[in-house]
Amino acid sequence: MFCQNCGSNLDNNAAFCPNCGAAAPKAETAAPQPVVAAPVATPAPEQTYTAPVETPAPQQTYTAPQQTYSAPQQNYTAPQQVFTGYALNPVTARFNSVFSDVLFMVVCILVSVSTLFSSIQVSTNVWGGTSTSFSPDVFGILFTIFLWMTYSSAKKGNINIKSLRSTSGTTFAMYIVMWVAVGILGVCGLLVLVAGNAVGGSIMGSLVDELGSDAAIFYELGLGSAGAAFTFIAIVILLMAGVFAVFNIFFVGGLHKFAKSIYTSAQNGFENIVKANSCSIWLLVMGIINVLGSFSGGFTGFIAGAAQSATYIILFIWIKKYFVAPAQTFVAPPQNYVG
């Protein structure tokens, strides 16, 4: 503590200030502090926590505003494309050119004329009058239809392979019919030959029995030569059958193989033409023969024969030009294809 008079530091038990002698202030005795018992903590009651139930937010439907967009008009003019018919492969491209040639068009016209006039039959009766009838040439009509179909499709630049196949099928049907005719002629020739020998033998047998040696005179008169006559007729019929067979094998059969090779080449895209040279030679021969025979059939026969002869000769030129001439490398023109 300190002296209240001079401020000197005093002992706690000093009664007077050693510096100034003033009485020291009485020391204050601190009152005893009461002992307070610490309160006993009461445990807090347990509390149950229930999480609040979340209510889902209401769904909001958003409708975007409709936007009307009008694209600006563009005036686009596509470049003109000229279709030349080279659609499948170089073979069909070449055939489009071959079958749209003016020579083939002339062939179609001549076949039409020949078919028309060969179907008209003019006959003369015993009184000198004439009568006209129409007997359709089935093979000629079919050929005419298929040839014109082939020409028109080739002219448009997309040759019709089905018409080529139909032409080949018609030649094959003609080939079969010719073989049937050859068979009928052969059977008839054999029957005539057998019948001639039987009739001739029976005639001579009866003559010898009745007349004896006097029957020799009938040999001189030719009355006993019935068997020889029948034999001659049979030989003629058999020769006709042989001629038809040769004609069918080398001409009609070769023509069918040639036509078939054309449509298979167009279908497969690989050109492999067969029998072109032999067909051209046979066509030339048939053209000459028809010219010689066209003068003996009246007016309609003459027109039909002349048209048929001209058809054979022009076909000969056409085949020589496109199928027998030295092979030329064909390159299809480039195509600008836009996908």
Q: What is the pLDDT of residue 228?
A: 67
SS (HEC) of the chain: CECCCCCCECCCCCCECCCCCCECCCCCCCCCCCCCCCCCCCCCCCCCCCCCCCCCCCCCCCCCCCCCCCCCCCCCCCCCCCCCCCCCCHHHHHHHHHHCCHHHHHHHHHHHHHHHHHCEEEEECCCCCEEEEECCCHHHHHHHHHHHHHHHHHHCCCCCHHHHHHHHHHHHHHHHHHHHHHHHHHHHHHHHHHHHHHHHHHHHHHHHHHHHHHHHHHHHHCCCCHHHHHHHHHHHHHHHHHHHHHHHHHHHHHHHHHHHHHHHHHHHCCCCCCCHHHHHHHHHHHHHHHHHHHHHCHHHHHHHHHHHHHHHHHHHHHHHHHHHCCCCCCCCCCCCCCC
Q: What is the pLDDT of residue 339?
A: 41
Q: What is the pLDDT of residue 83?
A: 44
Which pLDDT tens digit goes with each residue over 158-211? 999 899 999 999 999 999 999 999 999 999 999 888 876 666 555 555 555 565
Q: What is the pLDDT of residue 137?
A: 82
Which pLDDT tens digit goes with each residue over 43-55? 555 665 566 666 6
